[in-house]
Amino acid sequence: MVSVRSQLGDSIKAMLGLKLLPHSPEAVAAIRRAMLEMLDEQDQHEHSPLVIRLHQMHDAQGLWHARVDLYAHLCQRHGADHAMACLDRLTPLFRGRIPWAMFKAAGPGGTTGPKGQRGMRS
């Protein structure tokens, strides 16, 4: 019964485009570093809630979701155009690290898919 349940779960994930991708600590560290570099010196204070949250994420999917907080922060500090440009620069770092379905359903900082299609933008 366990194998049937496992196969069913894998089938559903595949249909939704949520297959598990290999985890690379080096890639996660590179993404985190790039996100932290987008913050001002003042923002990079060790105890900043955003910095703490970015350090708490241990996989690319967690960092993908943390982009929303980064976007909101950058909007407040520098405006929406700057924030969107920053997130667009992050997008290539996530390719191959998160399921395509997450790119497709992107919020702030929409993404370009493998065929040049644009994701949604908020």
Backbone angles phi, psi at 91, to 5 degrees: -50, -50
Tens digit of pLDDT for each residue in 59-118?
A: 999 999 999 999 999 999 999 999 999 999 999 999 888 888 887 777 544 544 333 444
Backbone angles phi, psi at 118, to 5 degrees: -90, 140
d(CA 97, CA 66): 15
The pTM of the full predicted model, rounded to 2 decimals, is 0.70
Task: Spell out the residues 6+ positions from residue 89 whose beta carbon is closer than 8 angstroms to its own.
Answer: 34
The H or E element spanning position 45 is: none
d(CA 63, CA 114): 21
118: β partners:
112
